[in-house]
Amino acid sequence: MIFSPIGVVLFTLTAFPVTYGYNYILKYTGDNHWTVFGVAVAVLIVLCFVFYILSKLSDQNERPSDPLFYVFLVLSFTALVDLIISLEIDGYIHGFMEFYLKEGEPYLNTAHGKLCVYWDGTVHYVTQMSIAIRCLQKKNYDHLALYWSGSLGNIVLVYILGTMTGSHAGEIKASFLLTVPYLIIPVVIGCIVIRRRMLAVKFDNRKVRIAYQQDILTRPMDILLITYLIFSTFITVIRGLAALDCTWPSVQNYVTKYEPYIGDPIGYPRIQMLVYLLYFVPFYAFAIYGLVVPGNTWMLNWSLIYAGVTSQSQIIHLCAAFHKLTRPAFHPPRLGREGFILVNISLQVIPQLLAWRCNNYPEIFAALPEDSSDTVKAKKE
C-alpha cells in the first residue's frame, strides 16, 4: 500500500499526528534545547525504522528500484512538518510545534524564516512528492530533481549562514544541526542526476549540424538572454557591493532608493546578495560563453539548477522585503517600489526562460559529431 501514490500521500500526512505527539512529549520532558533536538532525532529514527519494517513486509515486486524514492519520501514528510511550523507561526493551528519554535529554531519567527518554511512546505513538498511518485511509476524526473536541488540548496545555505552571522547568531540552538543534512542532500542528488543525464542524453545529429551553422546573430532569443545576463551581472555586482557595505555613491544610492532591505541586520538578505555575487556572476560569464560558443552540454543541467535557485531566492527576497515582520525602515521606499519589484521579478522570470530554452532546444549545446565537423567549418567559410 505504501508503494503507491496514495500510500505516499498518506505516509507524509502522518506528520500531523507525529508533530502533535512530539509537542506533547516535550511538554513533559522539558523544553531544554538539547531535549528538543534529541527528541526530534529520536522521532526521525523511529519513523525511518517503521518505514523500513513496512517496506520489508511488502511484496518485493512492489518496491521501487530507485533508492532515491526513499530519500524523497522522507523529505516530503519533513517538508510537511515545515508547513505545520509555518501554520503554527501564523496562528492557524496550535499545539503542534510550539516548543520547537521556542527552543528549537526561534529564528523561524522572522520574515525570511517563515517564508522559507512556507516555501519548503508547499513548493518543495509538491516537488518531492512528484519525484517520489515518478520513481514509483519508473518515469524520468531528472529535470525536476535538478530544479529542486538548486532551490533547496540555496534556501538552506542562506538560512544557515544568515542565522550564524545575523542578529539571531546568539540564539542558535542544538536543533540548528538538523538543517545541515539538507545542505548535503541536494548536492549529492544533484551530482547523481547530472552524471546520469550526461550518460543518457541523446541528440539528433541532423539538428545538431543545422544548429552549428547558425551564427549568434541569427538567434534573437539567445541575444535577448545574453543581454539579460549582462544586465543581471551589473545588478548583482551592485547588490553584492551593498552587502559588503561599499560606500560608493552609486551603490548607496541604489540601496537607499530601491533595496534598503539588503542592510537588514537579520542577515539573510545580505548573505543572499553575497551568494549572488560569488556564484552567480561567474555563472553569468560562463552562460554567455555557452550561448555564444556551441558545444557546452553543461548548460542543460546548470540552467535548471540556476532557475531553481532564482525561483526560490527571488520570491522569498521580494516577499520578505514587504513582510510585516520586517522593520518598516527596511521596506522598499514608496518612490522606488516599482523599480524594486520590476528588477526582482525580471531576475526571477528570465532564468526560467533560459532553462526552457536550453532544455527544449538543446542542439546548439551538443558536441558536434566528428564526421560533421569539417562540413560545418566549410559551410561557415
101, 89 Cβ separation under 8 angstroms: yes
294 and 230 in a common domain:
yes
Contacts of 164 (CB under 8 A, 6+ apart): 172
Q: Which residue has the higher pLDDT, 71 or 199?
A: 71
* Percentage of the chain exceeding pLDDT 70: 95
> For the residues 2-9, what does the mean pLDDT come to?
81
Domains of the chain: total? 2
What pLDDT was estimated at residue 40?
82
Q: For position 198, what pLDDT does the model report?
A: 80
- Find, among 215, 208, 209, the residue nearest to 375 by Cα: 209
Residue 49 confidence (pLDDT) = 82
What is the pLDDT averaged over residues 218-244?
93
Are 352 and 249 part of one and the same domain? yes
What beta strand segments (E) does 95-150 contain? none
Mean of pLDDT values over 126-130: 95
Which of 198-202, 206-210, 273-277, 315-319 has the lowest average pLDDT? 198-202
217 shares a domain with 358: yes
What's the pLDDT band for 258 if we cut at 50, 70, 90? very high
In this predicted structure, what is the pLDDT of residue 378? 44
Q: Which of 200, 231, 249 is the last residue of a domain?
A: 200
- Return d(Cα 15, Cα 20) in angstroms, integer: 8
Least confident range of 20-34, 219-233, 299-313, 322-336: 20-34
pLDDT tens, 348-372?
998 999 999 999 988 888 887 765 5
Residue pair 257/251 in contact by the 8 Å Cβ criterion: no
pLDDT at residue 374, as a whole number: 47
Q: Which of 200, 235, 264 is the last residue of a domain?
A: 200
pLDDT above 90: residue 50: no
pLDDT at 21: 87
**Cell 510585516, residue?**
324
What confidence score (pLDDT) does residue 199 get?
74
Q: What integer pLDDT is reported at residue 309 of this predicted model?
A: 95
At 379, the pLDDT band (50, 70, 90 cuts) reads very low
Q: Are residues 150 and 10 in the same domain?
A: yes
Q: What are phi and psi of 356, to 5 degrees?
A: -65, -45
Question: Is residue 106 located within the same domain as residue 182?
Answer: yes
**C-alpha cell belonging to residue 95:** 499545539
Same domain, 193 and 234: no
**pLDDT of res. 31:** 62
Residues 56-104: tens digit of each pLDDT: 777 767 778 888 998 999 999 999 999 999 999 888 888 888 888 887 8
Rounded Cα–Cα distance for residues 77 and 24 (Å): 19
CA distance 329 to 340: 15
Q: Are residues 51 and 190 in the same domain?
A: yes
Q: What percent of the chain has pLDDT over 90?
A: 53
Query: Does 209 lie in the same domain as 195?
Result: no
Domain boundary among 200, 228, 244: 200
Read off the pLDDT of residues 150-178 as tens digits, 9 standing for 90 and up: 999 999 999 999 999 988 888 888 888 88
Which range of residues forms the domain containing residue 370?
Answer: 205-380
pTM of the model: 0.91
Q: Mean pLDDT for the chain? A: 88
Q: What is the DSSP string of 142-163?
A: HHHHHHHHHHHHHHHHHHHHHH
Q: Does 28 or 323 have the greater pLDDT score?
A: 323
Q: Which of 356, 269, 355, 278 is nearest to 313 (CA)?
A: 269
- The verdict on 185 and 218 lying in the same domain is no
Can you tell me the distance from the alpha carbon of 361 to that of 364, in angstroms, rounded to the nearest whole number? 8
Are residues 170 and 217 located together in one domain of the fold?
A: no
Does 252 lie in the same domain as 147?
no
- Does one domain contain both 161 and 244? no
